[in-house]
Structure 1
């Protein structure tokens, strides 16, 4: 009676019970499934086949993620307006997919497929992984308007291809977001394979085949093959690699067939091939078109008119600081190709690599192949200096043990969305007790890190580059009971559009000692930076400088700002009479110059400026806002995370000594952004941070007097995955190093 109610058409508005919209399959013990149940969520079927035998047009069968020991045959049809849908598992971002796994209990039988669709129409199947079979794991036979999405059909046997076969007059079959050993299409029309990882594809007597945005890796077999009058095909946006699948890649033997794209003469009519990337590493031809082989793109395009936007190149080139490279896959696909999906194999939308040219169609930044590349960071837009926070303007001081949240997205020229980090010059003033300030991403746990340290009554500044979460950053005041005023001036922000950072130095650009000091209260010095000490003469948008004020006659401050612009209400350095103090400054460049203004009571001050890097349209490094994380604290035992690096026992860095910091498990960075603090010095001195394995430069990042605790942000190139910190003092000093991000 239950099956009759489900299967029979409605007899009238009152006398019949409508079929349910959803059926359920769940073989987990807690589900208490029934072999001949209703298929409702409260009493699910135990097997997929039970649901497949009764499902009606418009119904959806929900299959709980897990393993199902069965072969499944689908024969029932939906309609164009009311297709039958099977959904297995959950569609999460890769690699966190959850499938309904079909495990063939009789996989050694030579003629049994794990999933068979035969004589059916208007089906949508999503989220199934078809297990081993001696022939193809999935067979689509004499069926039309079939969609297979988000699944797997991996290789388990010796025959090729052995993932999915579409055959026997099937039409309009779409396979997308699949991982499979191979795909065979024969005597079918309008088959689409899109956004999948596949071992190889062979289409025979199958006109209108569409092969788009797939990663094809064959292991010394042909990649994509059209034969037997498979005319009118489209082959676009694929990444094809026919090498040995070893690492490093090795050429294939001379007796193997390992052509990237092979189109026989009887299939060339009306067929289009373009926007593909074919690896040459197998040693075989990139193309065989109408019985003519081609090793390179140019002669292939000249002879056939095809592949005008193809690349015959290594799809995954390596990049180093000395030899940067961008994969031809990135931001270069034909977004208008037929069969394109809105997401990649993992379910992610297109992402614009900020340093790759947008050379594709449509948005211009879809990637070729099945995967969108996300392994890049952000680029920088200089802005300001613009004051975003001054607790003296009605907000009130920040009390020790409390945090203050600051909205930065959508404020002061910062975009409302897409901001990954901001660079702020942060100043604390009027502290009533000793303490420290930590600037960190909003909503995250308070890290073991600090950006500023002070004693009662001190005014001190530091540059901070901090990740942005929910459009905000947070400020935490630590230390004994007390309070402090906080001022934050925007220097710039990171996002998907902007300038690329190139590390340089540290190299001295300015030293007024021995020349004329800056008179406080009126003097401005203009510094030429473009075209100096390795900085390009054109195209520089901003520079990062470590600026030091040396032995001022009286208390005062320094403002570094874009040349030719009005001096802003902001400061980068504050000092007391006779104090030598440094701060990192990132400032926009106008007319190739930046300007320095010394303010305060009557007096004069010497200024040093050391280049740490510059921003421009050229370059390959992007910034990963990461942290803050503590890399080193010489006051405690520190265990390096890098393989083979020993634990460093607690001990200060001796006079004239160098501390080498291993960057642990961090992926090979080209430069790092750090907050470095020196504490408990026994004598005056200075700190120089520089790339490991290089000569120590004539530059400094920090200056101190005995007993002082003082921090500074440092941007330094990386060599050998390490950095060096030199103690330029006659006494020992402890050092604390916190990571805020890195360039790669």
Structure 2
């Protein structure tokens, strides 16, 4: 969900409730303008660059020097003496200042700065609070002062008192100065060039932010603002204040008006705001809908005013626009009549992801060049590119509207192979040709090579092959630099060559391979593609059988592939795959009845077969493996690298194309199920085998609304030969296979499985006449 995703009311209440309440109230109430000692007068004062305020310090003294060792107890004490170029550092705690009024000025090149702890820096331990939940005060007032900066404070104002008041103030900025209660924030009495940004405000007795009294050049930017329910109090009211800028804010009107310009508020800019006047994020206002107007600009404020790139929530039941006295129910009519809002949307401002949800018009769509726009969002986060939505904004095109950047974006896939990245037998990807030692780890650089970008890569997909193992064992492929997980990628017996596709997150540009055996093993890795901020999006399909040379399916007649022969399989326009625009497919390929040892190479149609492999077999064995392969001319090719014939089966599980709403969220590898042990998701399951012809339900880890799960599935201790089918669990078990096994064999295969949308689960079906144990590791999910 985007915009105001968590109620500011809840967040502020939580932070207040967990603050350290050890403030020492020393002496009578102090005013920032009278009755205070002149500390460090003359030249000595100018030499001090930082004054400290900490009422939790045992030696704090308002008559002291304001040093780190002897700080002031009250902010007012520092405010009475601070001069140009000085910074007042305010420690976390609650400061019961009945009336904190700032009257002293800095200069253009040397402002006075009041700074609390930043929640976005390491070591943050809580806020500096003006007032307290038990004793809210008179708020923070700047009266007649110039060139003053306030950063990262919280203000709890008493009834009838402002959270922040800029009274005849000039060139004053408030960044991260949040508050609750009182009469909100007000800029008035001819103030000029006051900015108020990156704050959270809630619960004002009146408009939450008011700019009036002939104030000019005020900027209200990148704030989360919630107004009181059922009162005709705007989230932002601009009254007779020319050239005001209201940009990048997220407002929740609670059945009150959103942004209102009235009086002579000409020359204003209202852009990039997410305006929601609903009852509670997504609820209509019913009888109060007449007050739930999105954006209102009076006729007296129209001249020179620009309103565009806003999203006005459509669910309040109120009028989205009132412009020069006329009401407009939608963006087209508003734009046609006023010439404004050409890039506006009347649509939801908060979202849950899912296949049937409307497009989120807030994402990657802001006017980055609007006046007052900040480089980062309310929490200091830089914009990120959501690969599932077009970049329709100005500038970089990736800035979101509203106060909060949507950061929970997935990754897109770029086919880049197959190409060999690692072969320990011939010193590819490693400095010398040597096997990986028993219990050894190999780190492989996967970015900046073979066409993979040097930065921005979140995961890679590779076919990994273990060959020449001297003892039984298994391999774990995982992100470089992380603790080795309790998961496995493939299993082998001594002397056997075993491949498996793996999708693994990338860290520091590398992935790691751990040889979990008592003997040496050679490793091969063939790149299929990589994930990052740009690329193609996945579309789960099936699983659907698209090739079976025994049947025949996908070929004109039932016959095996000849020795060293090539089979070309058309996929575009079949089994739900579009006829154009497909860049890659993911298929589960099975080799059966091979007459001689060999391996299979799956590659884009039209070129020569690369020196890579996807499946390895010994004569007479049936083996399966997942393959993600680029599509060319709508086809893929299969090359039988052996001296004997072989039958091929392929089950389609999805395709990639430029358009789509599903992105990949890499994670893990993480063990999510082991039937040899007891597990609790999606239900409590005691240890025990999956029975013959029985099924196991597994929870799909990943994004907020998974469409398919990327799993590594291992069958172990099977009592009879058979195969495993992974599917969504919706409908009957499909006539496809994910992996094949023989009695007593341990075998693994990666599976990309559509998810049951009602339960976020997948089902693994044991198609054999005896029980099996299953081990399941998650590598992430394709999610909305």
TM-score range normalised by the length of the shorter chain: over 0.9
Q: Do structure 1's residue 163 and structure 2's residue 184 form an aligned pair?
A: yes
- Residue of structure 2 in register with 1:540 after alignment: 582
CA distance in 1, matches of 2:578, 2:700: 30
CA separation in 2, counterparts of 1:355 and 1:95? 35
**Number of the residue aligned with 1:141:** 167
| Cα distance between partner residues in 1 of 2:776 and 2:613 | 25
Establish whether residue 721 from structure 1 lines up as the match of residue 760 from structure 2. yes
Spell out, residue by residue over 1:160-214, the C-alpha distance to the aligned partner (whole angstroms, 9 max, x if none).
xx22111111111000001113111111111110000113011111111110000
Query: What SS does the aligned partner of 1:446 have?
Result: coil
Per-residue deviation, 1:529: 0.8
| Match among 369, 382, 389 for residue 415 of structure 2 | 382
Query: Residues 376 and 664 of structure 1: is their aligned pair in 2 closer, same or farther, counting only changes over 3 Å?
Result: closer
User: Which residue of the partner structure matches residue 623 of structure 1?
Assistant: 664
Separation (CA, whole Å) in 2 of partners of 1:510 and 1:106: 72
Q: Which residues in structure 2 correspond to 1:280-319 (within 5 Å)?
A: 280-319=314-353
Higher alpha-carbon deviation: 665-674 or 38-47: 665-674
CA–CA separation in structure 1 for the residues paired with 2:38 and 2:239 = 43
- Residues 93 and 401 (structure 1), Cα distance of their counterparts in 2 relative to 1, 3 Å cut: same
Partners of 1:281 and 1:684 in 2: CA distance = 57
1:45 deviates by 1.5
| CA 1:91–1:658: 2 relative to 1, 3 Å | closer
Q: Which residue of 1 aligns with 2:496?
A: 458
Q: Name the residue aligned to 1:120.
A: 145
Structure 1 residues 535 and 341, CA gap change in structure 2 (3 angstroms): same
Q: Given the alignment, which residue of 244, 259, 262 partners 1:224?
A: 259
Return closer, same or farther for 1:141/1:266 CA change in 2, 3 Å cut-off.
same
Query: Could you tell me which residue of structure 1 aligns to residue 372 of structure 2?
Result: 339
1-structure distance, mates of 2:423, 2:685: 41
> Secondary structure of the residue that 2:40 maps to in structure 1?
helix
SS of residue paired to 2:285:
coil
1:152 aligned residue (170, 178, 189): 178
Once the two structures are superposed, residues 641-689 of structure 1 have per-residue CA deviations (whole angstroms, 9 ceiling, x without a partner) of x5xx3x2111111111111223479743110000000000111100000
SS in 2 for 1:7: coil
**1:364 aligned residue:** 397
Residues in 1 aligned to 2:535 and 2:550: alpha-carbon distance in whole angstroms? 36
Q: For residue 199 of structure 2, give the secondary structure of its aligned residue in structure 1.
A: strand
Counterpart-to-counterpart distance in 2, 1:96 and 1:306:
43
Alpha-carbon distance between aligned partners in 2 of 1:433 and 1:256, rounded to the nearest angstrom: 77
Aligned to 1:517: 560
1:13 aligned residue: none
Any idea what SS the aligned residue of 1:231 has?
coil
Mapping of 1:89-238 within 5 angstroms? 89-92=117-120, 98-103=126-131, 113-134=138-159, 135-154=161-180, 156-157=181-182, 162-181=183-202, 182-187=208-213, 188-199=215-226, 200-238=235-273
Which residue does the alignment assign to 2:14? none
- From the superposition, tell whether residues 511 and 293 of structure 1 become closer, same or farther in structure 2 (CA, over 3 Å): same
Gaps spanning 5+ residues in structure 2: where? 1-35, 203-207, 227-234, 427-431, 552-557
Deviation for aligned residue 1:610: 0.6
Q: How does 1:599-610 map to 2 (within 5 A)?
A: 599-600=641-642, 602-610=643-651
CA shift digits 1:499-530 (9 cap, x unpaired): 0001111001111115121123x201111011
Deviations 1:245-282 (A, max 9, x none): 16x51233157422111111111111110110011211
State the Cα distance separating 1:99 from its structure 2 match: 2.5
Query: In 2, are the aligned partners of 1:675 and 1:737 still within 8 Å (CA)?
Result: yes
In the alignment, is the contact (CA less than 8 A) between 2:412 and 2:663 conserved in 1? yes
Instruction: Provide the aligned length of Structure 1 versus Structure 2.
Output: 719
Provide the TM-score with structure 1 as the length reference. 0.94
**Is 2:615 aligned against 1:577?**
no
CA contact (8 A) 1:90 1:97 kept: no
In the TM superposition, structure 1's runs of 4+ consecutive aligned residues that sit over 6 Å from their partners are 2-5, 93-97
**TM-aligned CA deviation for residue 70 of structure 1:** 1.6
Q: 1:444, CA displacement in angstroms?
A: 1.0
Establish whether residue 262 from structure 1 lines up as the match of residue 304 from structure 2. no
Identify if the C-alpha distance between structure 1 residues 85 and 466 changes in structure 2 by more than 3 Å, giving closer, same or farther: same
Distance (whole Å) between structure 2 residues aligned to residue 662 and residue 412 of structure 1: 35
* CA offsets 1:5-37 (integer angstroms, 9 cap, x no match): 7332x4xxxxx685211111122246x323322
The equivalent residue for 2:3 is none
Aligned counterparts of 1:686 and 1:563: Cα–Cα separation in 2 = 29
For the aligned residues, what is the CA RMSD? 1.9
- Larger mean CA deviation between 558-567 and 580-589 belongs to 558-567
Determine if contact 2:703/2:781 at 8 Å carries over to the other structure: no
